[in-house]
Structures are given as C-alpha cells and as structure tokens.
Amino acid sequence: MPSLSVPTTSALPANHRIPATSPSVFKALQRLARPSLISVVLHWLHDDVQEICPPYLRPESDEEDEQDLYPACSNLKRLRELYRLMQERNGGKREVVDRVLEGDWRHGITLYQLALIDMQYLYDHPTSQKWTALKIIRLSSDDVEDGERPKEQKSMTLPRLHPATFLQNLRKEAPPDVKAYYNIDRHGRLPLTILRMFIMESPYNTERVFSASSRATLDSSKHFYVAFPDNSPYVYVSLTTSTGVKTPGGSRSIRQAILEGIPKAFSRPRERYGLESTNMSAKNLEALVERRGGLRTNAAGGGWGIYADGNKNDTPLNHSLSADGDNSGGSETDVEPRTFGLKRKPDEDRAIVKRRKLLAKGRFGNSGLIDDGKGIEQFDVRIQDPFFSDRAASPVQDEDRSSDQAEKGSKGRRSTIDQALAHEAMDLDDDEDNTWRPEVTVSIHGSHVFAGIRQWVESGAIKAERMPGWMTGEEGVSIGVVRDGRIKGFKGSCV
C-alpha cells in the first residue's frame, strides 16, 4: 500500500535529507572555499551531531568495494583522519565536493548540513546579504483593541529573546501552505544571534518533498535571515530570496508574513510589539551593529563617537580647546592665501593638508576610516531646502514638478529608493509653505561611502566648516529627506 502524505502544521525536521544529486546541493557546496568546506565537513563528523547528519559507513565485516571511486570508511575515526589529511595538503575544492556527494554522504544532505553550509558562506562573505534594520517598539493596547493603527508606547523594557519560545511562536504565524526549517547560530565575532529560515512552498513535511520528482519545489525554496543584536531594540532582516524559479507574488506574501510574525513572536498577553523603520540598510553587519546595536555609538555617530568611548573623561559640554584645536580653528584665509597663479610654498601646503585632516577628524571622529570594516555601500538623500530666492513658488513651477513626476511614473515602476524617499517627503509636506523647495536627490555609492566623503574633506573638495552633519554619518541612516538643514532620520541634525 503506497504511503500517504498528509498536510501538517509542524516544521521541517533537521534530519530530512535532500538528494545528493540535487543541483541545489552541489551549488551550495561549490560556493565555499576548500578550507571552509573541510572545516564544515569536520563539524558534521562530531559525535554530538551524528543523529542529524550521519555519514555513509560500511559495516566492519564488509570488504572495500574496489570499483567504488570513493570507498566508504568503516568508522568515524578513519573518516576524520581522511579529511584532516585533506586539510593539511593542497588541492582543489572539487575533490572535496565529489568526495562528499559521491562518497561519504551519497545518501543525501540533511537540512541541518545545508544550514551550516549557508551560514559558513555568510561568515566568509559578510557582504553577501543586504540587511535592513528595524526597531522593535511597544504598542499601545487601546489602539490594538480599537482596530486603529497602533501607536508607539515609550518603554525601556526590551523583549527577551528566548530561542525555543521565539521559534515556537514564529511557527504559529507561518502560512499554512509553506513549511520551514529554522536554524539559530551565534556569530563568531559580533554580538549577534542569527536565525536562518529555509522555506518551501509545500504543505507537507515528509522527505518525499525533496525527491527527484519534486525538483521544482526544491528549486523554488527561499532562504531568509534575521539577526538579533544583544541588548538592543533592533533586528536586522535580510529577506532577499535565493536564485531559483520565480514565483510572482509568492515571495512578497512570504516576506510580509515573516515581517508580521517577528513582533508577534516577541509579544505576550498585554505586551504587544511592532516593527518600525529606521531608514538604515547595509550589506555590512558590522556597520549595522555600530549604528543600530547595543553599543553606545547608536546616538554618538560621526564626530560624537569620541564621547562614546568609556575611557573618555571629557564631555561635549566641555568647551575648552586643546592646542591642536587652537591651531586648527583659524580662518582658512589665514592659512591658505591667494597666490594668483604662483606656486604655493611647501610649508604652506603641509599646513593646509594638516588643517584639513584636523577638521576631518573633528567632524568624523574615529568613523569614516577606509580600513575600519564598517562601510555603508549606498547613501540616498532627497534635499528639500528652500531656494535662495525670496519669491514664492509659481504655478508654472508646480506644473513642472508634476510633469516631472508623471514622466518618471510613465517610464515604469519606481525604484525602492524613490518610493522610500517619496514616503518620507509626504510626511514632511504637512507643514508646506509657499516657499519654493526644489527637489534634489543625492545618491552616493561605494564600498565605504562616509570614508569617501571624509577623503573629500581632507582633499579640500568639501568645506568641512559648511558640511551638514548628516554627511558625516552621525545620524545613522542610509536614506532620508533633508528639510531646513535637518534630516528625517534618527534624531535630525541642524549643523
């Protein structure tokens, strides 16, 4: 009698095997470098995880098959020695991949093993995912009961992350027509707890879902990541789907369900939480921990970061200047006179360069350094400051603005950045006056945006004295709208 698969609400078990012949498994192994791949395989051979990722071993009484390209070992000790020898000598990673898929794990790779592969790739390539920081806020119970949009309730209480309870509550919020496998790991260097979600669009949780006949279901699987920093009211989400069969609308609904399920998993009776945007996205997890973590640098970005150091005794209220500050505080005309085409003296060049570096250090502090490993890759700002002229906006200008927006909309769907900037601009249009405010969008791209701006200051391309504070990164946002010199972000700056 053939076996039946019944839909269930339980999650996917960790010991479910994916066939070794699956292209998804080969692609996952091929992404890792040889040293990382061998270290992951040695972790699979630990005695503690043999119940969820056992290798293929031949019985002691059986002899080795001479025609087998990768003869199976008889015990774990020999298998560990084999991979340690491969770790000591040089070679290609294809040798290790073939040994894993055609030899020691020829019967399949479990979901737990696949999770370790993806997590190792994330650690080896920290910028492989794009993360968005969201703030966990306490919701008012009155608004929830009335059915209105919940309002933020000021509270110093942070929800406690208990992995077992959180995953149990998160499973209840998952759609009934999908199944997920959850794996929680602790970051090796950063104070982070990372949750990896492997989601399949199937109501069944049996191994028949991963059979060769269900290849389309396996290829359409999605990997999502959620990072929880220690002692912080923020979470980092990376909800970009993996490459595979595109399902229009399906990925969006799953992402929405995950975003709605995270605060509900934290919530308790009479203690409801929600997620709020922070206008901060980056591929670098270390940069997010610096600006949206549990450290003192959350509210002390840019030049204010020197006061977040525990060894610093002075405060921003101390207005006494040091000797370097006195030398660098003079007007630029005293140090950089006009030469009218003549060559500047070397002493004057060194003085100008030194002063620019001192000004850059005063504006950026210890941030914005090329080698600090905390770079933001993209910075988008829409400036809506009033024009220098005193004349009010005319109907012609309004028509031009409307026509420009209509022209942008006719070309196709707007980018995510344009939609976010437009949303921020709508919030600021409540106090609109008759002053003409031209819309200027500034978009800066690079491996380390604020380090590049700091180099512009040191080279003299940007005046450090007139540069607004949001250009130093002290607001801790990667997207926002500037109005009257203040950016709608973490707190706003009027520098």
Tens of pLDDT, residue by residue over 43-74, are 999 999 999 999 999 887 777 777 778 888 88
Q: Give residue-wise pLDDT tens across range 84-98.
A: 999 999 889 999 999
What pLDDT score was predicted for residue 332? 44
Name the CA dihedral angle for 23, 28, 33, 34, rounded to a multiple of 10 degrees. Answer: -60
- What are the tokens at 85? 């020898």
For the segment 228-267, what is each residue's pLDDT rounded down to a tens digit? 999 889 999 997 755 444 444 556 778 888 888 999 999 8
> Do residues 433 and 385 lie in contact, with contact meaning Cβ atoms separated by under 8 Å?
no
Selected residue with higher pLDDT from 182 and 486:
182
- Give the separation between CA 484 and CA 368, rounded to whole angstroms: 25
Percent of the chain scored above 90 by pLDDT? 33
Distance between CA atoms of residues 278 and 181, nearest Å? 28
Say yes or no to pLDDT of 486 above 70.
yes
DSSP 3-state percent helix, strand, coil across the chain (nearest 5) = 40, 15, 45
Nearest Cα residue to 310 out of 298, 296, 322: 296
Spatial distance between the Cα atoms of 91 and 142, rounded to a whole number of angstroms: 64
SS3 state of residue 82: helix
Is-contact 363 467, C-beta < 8 A? yes
Higher pLDDT, 339 or 191: 191
Which of 6-20, 80-94, 196-210, 344-358 has the lowest average pLDDT? 196-210
**Closest Cα to residue 217, out of 233, 235, 202?**
202
Give the dihedral of Cα atoms 481, 485, 486, 488; nearest 10 deg: -10
Domains observed in the chain = 20-107 (no CATH), 131-294 (no CATH), 300-487 (3.10.20.720)
Check if the beta carbon of residue 171 is closer than 8 Å to that of residue 180.
yes
Residue 151 has pLDDT above 80, yes or no: no
Q: What is the pLDDT of residues 377-394, one digit of tens each?
A: 999 999 888 877 554 444
- State which of 178-192, 389-403, 421-435 shows the largest mean pLDDT: 178-192
Residue 219 has pLDDT above 70, yes or no: no
pLDDT tens string 269-298? 888 899 998 889 999 999 999 888 887 777
| pLDDT score recorded for residue 293 | 87
Nearest residue to 287 (alpha-carbon basis) of 183, 186, 192:
192
